Structure 1
C-alpha cells in the first residue's frame, strides 16, 4: 500500500496568488485521480510549524506537498513537474497507486 500524499494549505489566506496556487495543485491532483489529504494550517499555529519543520524551511508557505514522511516540494517544484510530465515521480508515486 502506498503512502498518502499530504497537501498543506491555508483556507484563510489573503494572498490571491497563494489561493490560486493551492487551487491549481488540488485541481491537478483531482484530474490525475491522485488521492491526497489536505491539511489546513490555518487551524493552528502548530500545523504551520509542523509544515515548516517538515519542509526544512522556517519561512515556507503553502502549498507544501509530502508523500508520507517524504517531502516532495512546493508549488514551483510541483508546477515544473506537471510541465515536464513528471508528476508521479515528483509525488513519489507509481501511476497504479493513485486510485483506490
Structure 2
C-alpha cells in the first residue's frame, strides 16, 4: 500500500506549502512510503482527487485544497485531520497502516487492549 499525498507544487499559499512539507516530512522521517501527486501540473491528478474526496469531507464552498491524503484509493483526510491524528499519536491508524512495534501508537494500542481485557 502506498500513501498518496495530493499536493500543489506551484501553490502561492505559504500555509499550503508548509502543510505539504509537514505531511511529507513526517512520512519521510517515519519511513512511510508515499507518492506525491501534483494537482497543479497534472489535470488528471486534480480531477481524481476532487472526485474521490467523500461528499462529507468536501468544503462548503470551493474546491478541496491540498494536501489531501489517500491510502491508495481510500481517502484518509486533509491536513487538519492528519495534524489531529499526529497530536493523538494515531497517524498510522489515520493512514490505515499498522503501527510499527515500539512506536508510541503501537504502545498506546497495546495498553488499550490490556485495559479492555481487565
Q: TM-score, normalised by structure 2?
A: 0.75
Match of 1:63 among 55, 67, 73: 67
Q: 80, 85, 92: which one pairs with 2:89?
A: 85
Q: CA deviation at 1:32?
A: 1.1
- Whether 1:22 and 2:20 are equivalent positions in the alignment is yes
Query: In structure 2, what is the Cα distance between the partners aligned to 1:12 and 1:68?
Result: 24
Secondary structure of 2:40 counterpart: helix
Name which one, 1 or 2, has greater alpha-carbon Rg. 2
The 2-side partners of 1:86 and 1:70 are apart by 17
Q: What is the total number of aligned residue pairs between the two structures? A: 94
Match of 1:4 in 2: 2
Is 2:11 the counterpart of 1:13? yes
Runs of 4+ in 1 over 4 A off after TM superposition: none
Please name the residue that 2:114 is paired with: none
TM-score, structure 1 as length reference: 0.88
Match of 2:104 in 1: none
Higher relative contact order (CA 8 A, sep 6+): 1
Unaligned 5+ segments in structure 1 are none
